[in-house]
A = this chain, B = another copy of it.
Amino acid sequence: MGPRQVDVAALVAGTTAGEPRSIARLISLVEDGHPALPEVAAAVAPYGGRAHVVGLTGSPGVGKSTTTNALVRALRARGLRVGVLAVDPSSPFSGGALLGDRVRMEEHATDPDVVLRSMAARGHLGGLSAAAPMAVRVLDAAGCEVVLVETVGVGQSEVEVAGLADTTLVLLAPGMGDGIQAAKAGILEVADVLVVNKADRPGAAATSRDLRHLVGHAHRDPGAWTPPVVRSVASRAEGVDDVLAAVVDHREWLGREGRLRRRRVRRAAAEVEALAVAALRARIGDVHGAADLDALASAVVDGRTDPFSAADEVVARLGPASD
List A residues at the B interface (Cβ < 8 Å). 37-38, 41-42, 44-49, 133-134, 261, 264-269, 271-273, 275-281, 283-284, 293-294, 296-298, 300-312, 314-316, 318-322
Please state if B272 and A300 are interface contacts (CB–CB under 8 Å): yes
Most chain B C-beta atoms within 10 Å of own C-beta, residue among A133, A266, A269:
A269
19 CB-based A-B contacts, threshold 8 Å: A38-B309, A41-B306, A42-B308, A47-B303, A133-B307, A261-B301, A265-B297, A265-B301, A268-B301, A272-B310, A273-B314, A275-B311, A276-B284, A276-B311, A277-B284, A278-B311, A283-B315, A316-B322, A320-B320
Please state if B315 and A294 are interface contacts (CB–CB under 8 Å): no
Which residues of B sit under 8 angstroms from A310, Cβ to Cβ?
268, 272, 275
Please state if B318 and A272 are interface contacts (CB–CB under 8 Å): no
Please report the C-alpha to C-alpha distance between residue A38 and residue B316 in the assembled complex, in whole angstroms: 16
Please state if B284 and A46 are interface contacts (CB–CB under 8 Å): no
Please state if B300 and A45 are interface contacts (CB–CB under 8 Å): yes
Please state if A297 and B269 are interface contacts (CB–CB under 8 Å): yes
Most chain B C-beta atoms within 10 Å of own C-beta, residue among A283, A314, A319:
A314
Q: Which residue of B lies closest to A298 (CB)?
A: B265
**How far does the Cβ of A39 sit from chain B's closest Cβ, in whole Å?**
9
Contact A277-B280, Cβ < 8 Å, known A268-B300, A308-B38 = yes
Please report the C-alpha to C-alpha distance between residue A144 and residue B66 in the assembled complex, in whole angstroms: 58
**How far does the Cβ of A264 sit from chain B's closest Cβ, in whole Å?**
5
Known: A41-B307, A272-B296. 10 other contacts (CB 8 A): A38-B309, A42-B309, A45-B300, A48-B303, A49-B302, A265-B298, A265-B301, A268-B296, A275-B311, A280-B280
**Nearest 6 A/B pairs, CB to CB:** A275-B311, A269-B297, A268-B297, A41-B306, A38-B308, A45-B306
**How far does the Cβ of A270 sit from chain B's closest Cβ, in whole Å?**
8
**How far does the Cβ of A287 sit from chain B's closest Cβ, in whole Å?**
10
Which residues of B sit under 8 angstroms from A44, Cβ to Cβ?
306
Contact A280-B47, Cβ < 8 Å, known A269-B296, A310-B272 = no
Please report the C-alpha to C-alpha distance between residue A211 and residue B297 in the assembled complex, in whole angstroms: 34
Please state if A272 and B303 are interface contacts (CB–CB under 8 Å): no
Most chain B C-beta atoms within 10 Å of own C-beta, residue among A38, A278, A280, A308:
A308
